[in-house]
Chain A
Amino acid sequence: MTYFLQLTINAIALGSIYALTAVGYSMVYGILELVNFAHGSVFMLGAFSYYIFAVLVGLPWYLSFLITFILIGIVGFAYDRLTLLPLRRTNQPKFTGLICTLGVSIVLQNLVFVFMGSNTRQFPTFFEGRYLSLGPFNISFIQILIVCLSVAIMVALSLFVKKAKLGVAMRAVAQNSMASEWMGINVNSVVSLTFIIGSVLAALSGILSCMSFRSLDITIGSTIAIKAFTATVLGGIGNLGGAVLGAFIVAMAESYTAGFISSDMRDLSAFVILMLVLLFRPNGLLGKAVQKKV
């Protein structure tokens, strides 16, 4: 029982990381109906960027974070403007966007590979592995930080999306981009903003994930991609709250699989969940079945 609860505690921290990734992913999917393959690569890129500035250059953590976010924001913006916007402008079929994001993801991944190699590195963290002991349970300080940070960001995001003008604009464009355009919303700017926010979230969760596991390598991007997608689909497309819920479910499944079955199988659990969702509830837990208009 204590083992189960310990696993659950780990899952909560893991889920917080996944939630940040999944929300960024869901935002982009909701606004463009596009599977953004590059999301995982940005996750990895963010972690590497922090590593380069914090470890290789030796900057303090707050500067490393700042520079990383700025860089990633630029990457996200450029990604949308240079590659996806032209496709949208010329009304290309859906698969072109898919292949494009795939291409970008491969470029980003391999840029990192070419410059940094494929070896695993140790990642800096806060609190140097210190943890809190609550009876039989151990909660590391970094886990607490991650959960608090995630909650704060989630709250800020949901306020933004509900109250702030830009946030409401994002929701409007996600629902009906043509009508939004007619209402005077600059759809392309909103889309770019969504990409920037999504990318920064991905980068942040990448950094936090590496801090949590204390290691960094180029494969982390591809593993997170499936989990983020699963969480998004599980929660219901375009439903940000659902993405968070999905993220925690995925994290729990992974944690229990690693704990009770085998650590090698942990990545499989997300795939199994994805399979089940697609088979039985493709609209997700919180999504509504939408009748396609003909």
Chain B
Amino acid sequence: MKRSIVSKIILLFVILLVAALPFLGVLSQYTQRIAIMCFIYIILATSLNLISGVAGQVSMGHAGFFAIGAYTSAILSVDFQMPALVGLLCGGLLSGLFALAVGWPCLKLSGGYLAIFTLGFAEVIRLICINWRSLTRGNYGLRGISRPSFGGYVLDTNLKYYLYAFVIMLICLFFLHNLGKSWFGRNLAAIKDDEIPAEAMGINVHLSKTIAFAISAFFAGVAGSVYAHFMTYIDPSAFVSDVSTTVLGMVVLGGFGSFYGCIASASVLTALPEMLRGFSEYRMLLYGFVLVIAMLLRTVDVKNSALGIRLQGVYRTVSGSVRNFFTGKASPKKGKGV
């Protein structure tokens, strides 16, 4: 009990700290920009985590839903003068609807089909964005997307948008977190583990997968809207398949199912390349290696091999000290397995 109250207080503290950061003058315009991109990628990663990390259905199409949300919100703003929040909701809903249409037939089949199909889907969306020039202005890009305004108060500075994006992200995280820690999240984890007994226990596997897919697409669309109204300009080159790969990499690095892990990996993987500008050429190459190595690490027999035991030792020491720090108690001795 004590531990959960402590962790809740720490969470609140962290949230307030991040919210206050720009006011403390610690962040330059440039850093604020990176932070906003972090918020966007955190939404993308935690939403992809729901379908791919928790439910185990690898989707390579997140960039497509990101694009649908961005363009919907942008077009509503530029051509119909709709407020940003309306664009946000519509972008999310449209993405979700597309996901329902695409997911329903695809998710009846084995995992590889979804991966390839979503990859193709995202590419098709990008091609449509390039070619449907009357709607999207093609490669020229959509300009003049308005910054959100609330009763005349326009979020014209990075600082103001930082807070907006932060709040949106918190709301998304709130919902995604709650969805994960529920019977729905547990069912998805069961589906990832073994679909047959999941179905035998009464889980409608196909429906669960489809809903998870639609939810993850919804939030990707929301992230798209946040992106569009921040940049005030979007073009199809922002939605290449590299984005899908990057987000998947964040989910994999975050532990492939771990909510907080994704938040951490998304932050790091968004901020780091910015700071390592010189290595931008090698960024995707590194991602590729990360994906392969992350999978190969699973093959390390944690209990028996020499490498495994060493890794175990490191993990125990680190988690032990973290626990000490928060609870002031010595970590309980890990009992031998029953």
Contact = CB atoms under 8 A, between A and B. Distances in A.
A106 B110 contact: no
A34 B127 contact: no
A286 to B, nearest CB: 17
B127 A87 contact: no
30 contacts: A35-B112, A35-B116, A86-B299, A87-B296, A89-B299, A93-B192, A95-B57, A95-B192, A99-B294, A100-B296, A102-B245, A103-B287, A103-B288, A103-B293, A103-B295, A105-B288, A106-B287, A106-B288, A108-B288, A109-B288, A110-B285, A113-B281, A113-B285, A114-B281, A114-B282, A267-B123, A274-B117, A278-B105, A278-B113, A282-B105
B295 A100 contact: yes
A95 B58 contact: yes
Nearest to B197: A294
Contacts of A133: none
- What is the predominant secondary structure among interface residues of chain A facing chain B? helix
Interface string A65-100: 000000000000000000100110110111111111
B60 A34 contact: no
A225 B112 CA distance: 13
Contact of B112 (A34, A106, A294): A34
Interface in A243-284: 264-265, 267-268, 270-271, 274-275, 278-279, 282
Interface of B: 52, 56-58, 60, 105-106, 108-113, 115-117, 119-121, 123-124, 127, 130-131, 192, 196, 241, 245, 248, 252, 281-282, 284-285, 287-296, 298-299, 301
Interface centre among B105, B295, B296 (most CB of A within 10 A): B295
Contacts of B281: 113-114
A102 B117 contact: no
Contacts of B111: 94-95, 98
A178 interface: no
Pairs A-B, 5 closest by C-beta atoms = A103-B291, A106-B288, A35-B112, A107-B288, A103-B292
B58 A99 contact: yes
A89 B300 CA distance: 11
A102 B248 contact: yes
Main secondary structure of the interface of B (DSSP, over half): helix
A98 B248 CA distance: 12
A103 B292 CA distance: 5
A103 B284 CA distance: 10
B123 A226 contact: yes
B292 A282 contact: no
A242 B113 CA distance: 17
Contacts of A109: 284, 288
B105 A96 contact: no
B131 A264 contact: yes
Contacts of B252: 99
Given A102-B245, A103-B289, A106-B287, A92 B110 contact: no
A33 interface: yes
B113 A111 contact: no
Contacts of A110: 282, 284-285, 288
A125 interface: no
A222 interface: yes
